[in-house]
Amino acid sequence: MNSPSTFTLSLREQEQLIEKLEIFKIQGRDKRGHKVLRVVGKLFPARLVSGEGLTKYLEEKVFPNLEGRRFSVVYVHTGVQRSENFPGIFVLRSIYDAIPVNVRDLLEAVYFVHPGLRSRLFLATVGRLFFTGGLYGKLKYVNRLEFLWDHVRRNEMEIPEFVYDHDEELEDRPIVDYGLESDHPRVYCAASVDAPVSMYSMRCIS
């Protein structure tokens, strides 16, 4: 895991980069009328932005704009690659720990769009231990965009074109269950149960 000192950009420059890429965007509402925070994983420049920079951006730019109201998160996992745009599980855990309790309590659901098999396996095992406090129970897998619109107002949500392209490719995979899942499969990685968490993070999520 990279330390803040290994990043060439200052914290200010990291914040500006996150803002420019529009990785996080409070946009539209869900079907209950709550605000929606859209997160596009593929846009995250993991080699340029530290966990500290990401946390600082969330604290200063995102959480205040939620205005202390209930909200949902649409996390678009399409195209995420571990070596390019995945910050690492320990960074994610540190960010989660930094989220104020009152903000966590206001979270209604996290819609995980286009989850890969490895990310499902990871979340079904180590993820449920890392993300405590009820977050894991709020996670909803969404294999196809058409099912997302059952929960989020489509005309108020901007989704990148590459996500629609991937969605169309899934038409050729009829054996995949294309629904929204609220109960998580009890499946396990091929790694030994004695393997360290870092091994899970390297082998089970993408």
Average pLDDT over residues 17-41: 94
Residue, of 177 and 92, whose pLDDT is higher:
92
Average pLDDT over residues 13-22: 95
Please indicate, yes or no, if residue 31 is contained in any of the structural domains.
yes
Please indicate, yes or no, if residue 3 is contained in any of the structural domains.
no
Please indicate, yes or no, if residue 29 is contained in any of the structural domains.
yes
Q: Residue 76: which CATH number?
A: 3.40.525.10
Average pLDDT over residues 8-23: 94
Please indicate, yes or no, if residue 138 is contained in any of the structural domains.
yes
As for how many domains the chain has, the answer is 1
Please indicate, yes or no, if residue 165 is contained in any of the structural domains.
yes
pLDDT at 186: 34
pLDDT at 146: 92
pLDDT at 159: 94
Confidence band for 190, pLDDT divided at 50, 70 and 90: very low
pLDDT at 189: 31
Please indicate, yes or no, if residue 78 is contained in any of the structural domains.
yes
Residue, of 24 and 173, whose pLDDT is higher:
24
Residue, of 85 and 11, whose pLDDT is higher:
11
Please indicate, yes or no, if residue 62 is contained in any of the structural domains.
yes
Residue 67 — left, alpha, or beta (φ > 0 → left; ψ -120 to 50 → alpha)? left
E strands in 83-196: 107-113, 139-142, 180-181
Q: Which domain holds residue 133?
A: 11-178
